[in-house]
Amino acid sequence: MKSDRSLTPQLTVSTLQCPELLAPAGSWDCAKAAVENGADAIYFGLDRFNARMRAQNFTEADLPELMAFLHLRGVKGYVTVNTLIFPQELPEVEQYLRSIIAAGVDAVIVQDVGICRLIRHLSPDFPIHASTQMTITSAAGVEFAQSLGCQLVVLARECSLKEINKIHQQIRQKETSLPLEVFVHGALCVAYSGQCLTSEALGGRSANRGECAQACRMPYELIADGEVVNLGDRKYLLSPQDLAGLEVLPDLVKSGVTSLKIEGRLKTPEYVANVTRVYRQALDRVMEELTANTPKARKPSHAAEEQYNLEMAFSRGIYTGWFNGINNQELVHARFGKKRGVYLGEVTRIRNEQVTITLEAPVKAGDGIVFDAGHPEAKEEGGRVYAVVQKGKEAVLTFGRSDLNFRRVHIGDRVWKTSDPELDKQLRQSFAGDNPQFQRPIDLEIYGEVDQPLTAIARDGQGHVVQVDSTIPLVEAHTKPLTTERLHEQLGRLGNTPFCLGKLTNHLNGALILPVSELNRMRREMVTQLEELRRQPKRWELNDHASLQNLLPKSSPKSPTSPSLIVLVRNLKQLQAGLQAGIQTLYCEFEDPRFYREAVQMVRQEAGGREQGAGENIKNAQYPTIWVAPPRITKPGENWILQQVRDSQADGYLVRNYDQLQFFTQDRCVGDFSLNVANALTADYFHQRYGLERLTASYDLNISQLEDLLHSCPPQWFEVTIHQHMPMFHMEHCVFCAFLSQGTDYTNCGRPCEQHEVKLKDRVGSEHVLKADVGCRNTVFNGTAQTGAEYVQRLIDLGLRHFRIEFVNETPAQVSKTIHCYSQLLRGEITGSQLWRELKLQNQLGVTRGPMGVSALR
């Protein structure tokens, strides 16, 4: 999409609201670091069902204490239940959710459609936030989340400011007034969250289950038309720089975004403290400037300090991500995929066990550095600086004896500062000890007149109100009356409490006085009462009689029909091979939907030919049907692509997202794997509400979980993909544009995707196919096909009748051979093991058993 920096503010200055600053917490120390550095809310996982299973996480038993601590400090706490839930886990999740709701948690962040339904069944008012794992990129996605009972939507990270504004505008027009949250800082997944199957494909570790193996941070070679492309030191082709939205904060505030989220539940407390503090100060500064209507540029000193702190916190390079639109040259520099820190300069001389560098940033004794020779995949030399002598723009660095192998340091090496102990110490001090260090304002109103008590009414930012009256009446003051200044001084002594004094309004009638000791007592009483109110858990409605069983669909008798083979093809030659093989149901997923018309005509001609050949048996003749697939992502302004798909007048559509559910609502539709149907509650929702003829079972399910799904729902609802090249990464980042052109996006890249066959070669030598779609989004397909052939008979016995096989770049001959084998399998003429051996012998195909056979113990 085009970059557009001239954005029209959506809100007037008078209606501007300061967005919530939401920080990550993977541990107690992280929670304290967030609170003490100004977070308005934190999000954290428990020990199950969250998308960061490698974090330390909290337990259900921690919830009462954690929520009391947060609420005392005026901070909200959101629990992440942002993974897909498998059928056998539903009863456990139900109890889990009851504990979360009863503990007074402020909201739960959810990916699974069925879990949204379950929460709303258990409680009519408990807040649900639609996770970024739900891949919401449009107003239709927001409406979908609202239909599930969600109160807030976390947009996909790939949304630009222009698109965020458009979504806001569209949901206001439709009165879909859900607040929107966006990620403002941290690591960027290269693939759309909720749509990355790489870890699943390569090792049965699902990103949709919190087990991402970070394959995007690994080196790859680019192969175009069979030849390795020389990219110099650029090897990390799928590793984006880290997101930093600091420079677009004013635009984010003006867009009306409700919450700004910092990524990092696997990061250290120092990271949380550092990044939270930077954004708290910057956000307060932006709000002050915007409400005063005097926007100013960031002072150079502010900007330099913020940049330094953010890079020292964690940095693979920092960048505005997709906020300013797409720039494929800048998003991924491709030179490393791990933390670097602050760039110090380049080695210019090595002499007498001292290293001289050109100095681009400050360095001091005690700092940790690393020398970058352009091979980040290898062990790199580094150590702590013992002494620094600065000479103009150069610095001579001395290291401890034997700390450095100088033979591994070279002139021209880039030098990075990876550690700043002084900064780390300062950050740790910000959340050390038990006394509050970050205080939130309370407003006071003071009333009274002579011979009456002094009344103080205190209000905090969470809506709590307390009133305290003096036990001594006010008397007329002859000297030193209770002026606003004196009241502010005496009642503002709130050290070691969670509060600081905000606005004080003095309504005293006349010149009055009260003993200081009584004012002090009143202040302590106000604090005590406010703290007591804050500690009380939120009381959400929780229906004790609601049951998971009431939501589950009823089973139905097995279909008497024979198993059928569905074939998905990606070009016209493959389609022709599928037709010649006699396939009755064909799916087309072409890079360019304009070719769908030709595909539909080809199938209709085949049907006409079969009709002519049927003669007297015309009533029993079977004609092929063709279903076509729109792209997996739909963003604002892209409905023209959906219209182009519909113009093909296919028999039906393979729907992948919320826009398509809405757009093709009057048409025959099958739900694809990208809808992430992993349990009966999700399946029932899509089947009943949208009338989908079939649903493709999630690719995250292994065989036992798939069997559980078929036991818990009518099996005729489903189709299962039993042969495919797993679509691993699906991403906004265009590898074609970034590395085969000088362009920034589709407007100036020259369309190398239309001229070259491209593969990505990984560290173990596997070559994965790269494809672009009409929206210029890329998919990396596993170079090795995966088969579930050995489980087909078990699935048939359970009543499953629809089996899909998918092709990517196979030749028509390979397509024909593969279809023949699977047709034999479904007719019972060969076993799954025989098919497996038969296809494995075709070296050019390459087949593995894939994650369907991975143990359920993940």
pLDDT tens digits for range 111-164: 999 999 999 999 999 999 999 999 999 999 999 999 999 999 999 999 999 999
Predicted model pTM: 0.93
The residue type at 393: K
Calculate the CA 117 to chain-centre distance. Answer: 21
| One-character DSSP codes across 627-654 | EE---S---TT-HHHHHHHHTT--SEEE
Listed as ranges, residues in the chain with pLDDT below 50 are 1-9, 618, 620, 842-845, 855-858
Sign of dihedral through CA atoms 163, 164, 169, 171? positive
For 20, the token pair is 């919530």
Q: SS in 3 state form for 33-96?
A: HHHHCCCCEEEEECCCCCCCCCCCCCCHHHHHHHHHHHHHCCCEEEEEECCCCCHHHHHHHHHH
Report the distance separating Cα 379 and Cα 766, nearest Å: 24
Calculate the CA 477 to chain-centre distance. Answer: 62
Place of tokens 């991500």: 321
For 175, the token pair is 């009165």
CA atoms within 13 A on the CB side of 663: 27
Q: Which helix (H) or strand (E) holds 549?
A: helix 548-551
The residue type at 176: T
Parts of the chain belonging to CATH 3.20.20.60: 562-730+781-853
CATH 3.40.50 fits 341-430, yes or no: no
Name, in order, each residue with C-beta under 8 angstroms of 124's C-beta and a sequence gap of 6 or more: 541, 543
Contact assessment for residue 79 and residue 45, using Cβ atoms and an 8 Å cutoff: yes
Phi, psi of 442 (to 5 degrees): -120, 145
C-alpha distances (whole Å) from 224 to each of 228, 445, 558, 740, 755 are: 6, 72, 48, 9, 10
Res 52: pLDDT:
64
Name, in order, each residue with C-beta under 8 angstroms of 586's C-beta and a sequence gap of 6 or more: 566, 567, 568, 569, 575, 578, 579, 603, 624, 625, 626, 627
Contact assessment for residue 799 and residue 710, using Cβ atoms and an 8 Å cutoff: yes
Q: What is the dihedral of CA 693, 823, 728, 47, to 10 degrees?
A: 70
Parts of the chain belonging to CATH 3.20.20.70: 18-188+240-324
Report the distance separating Cα 91 and Cα 290, nearest Å: 49
Report the distance separating Cα 452 and Cα 72, nearest Å: 32
Contact assessment for residue 539 and residue 696, using Cβ atoms and an 8 Å cutoff: no
Res 297: pLDDT:
64
CATH no. of 18-188+240-324: 3.20.20.70
Report the distance separating Cα 485 and Cα 132, nearest Å: 48
Report the distance separating Cα 575 and Cα 578, nearest Å: 5
- What confidence tens digit (pLDDT) does each residue in 265-283 have? 989 999 999 999 999 999 9
Residues in the chain, total: 858
Report the distance separating Cα 249 and Cα 384, nearest Å: 36
Residue 445 burial by Cβ neighbours in a 10 Å radius (0-12, 13-18, 19+): middle
Res 846: pLDDT:
54
The residue type at 39: A
β-pairing, 625-628 vs 652-655, is parallel
Name, in order, each residue with C-beta under 8 angstroms of 618's C-beta and a sequence gap of 6 or more: 611
Q: Which residues pair with 527 in a beta bridge?
A: none
Phi, psi of 193 (to 5 degrees): -60, 135
Q: SS in 3 state form for 362-422?
A: CCCCCCEEEEECCCCCCCCCEEEEEEEEEECCEEEEEECCCCCCHHHCCCCCEEEEEECHH
Q: What is the overall mean pLDDT for the chain?
A: 92
Res 54: pLDDT:
64
| One-character DSSP codes across 314-365 | S-S-EE-TTTT---HHHH---S-SS---EEEEEEEEEETTEEEEE-SS---T
Report the distance separating Cα 182 and Cα 171, nearest Å: 16
Alpha helices in 158-245 (DSSP H): 161-173, 198-203
CB atoms within 10 A of CB 19: 25
Res 796: pLDDT:
96
Q: Which helix (H) or strand (E) holds 501?
A: strand 499-508
Sign of dihedral through CA atoms 709, 214, 153, 774? negative
Among 413, 417, 407, which residue's Cα sits nearest to residue 348? 413
C-alpha distances (whole Å) from 671 to each of 12, 150, 209, 697 are: 41, 22, 21, 9
Report the distance separating Cα 853 and Cα 858, nearest Å: 12
Res 848: pLDDT:
64
- What confidence tens digit (pLDDT) does each residue in 483-523 have? 999 999 999 999 999 999 999 999 999 999 999 999 999 99
The residue type at 383: G
Among 708, 730, 568, which residue's Cα sits nearest to residue 198? 730
Among 162, 185, 172, 107, which residue's Cα sits nearest to residue 142? 172
For 454, the token pair is 């002094």
| One-character DSSP codes across 557-614 | PPP-SPPEEEEEESSHHHHHHHHHTT-SEEEE--SSGGGHHHHHHHHHHHHHHHHHHH
Name, in order, each residue with C-beta under 8 angstroms of 404's C-beta and a sequence gap of 6 or more: 353, 381, 382, 383
| One-character DSSP codes across 827-854 | TTSS-HHHHHHHHHT-TTT-EE--GGGS
Report the distance separating Cα 727 and Cα 736, nearest Å: 17
Q: Which helix (H) or strand (E) holds 115?
A: helix 113-122
CATH no. of 562-730+781-853: 3.20.20.60
Q: Which residues pair with 568 in a beta bridge?
A: 587, 806
Res 522: pLDDT:
97
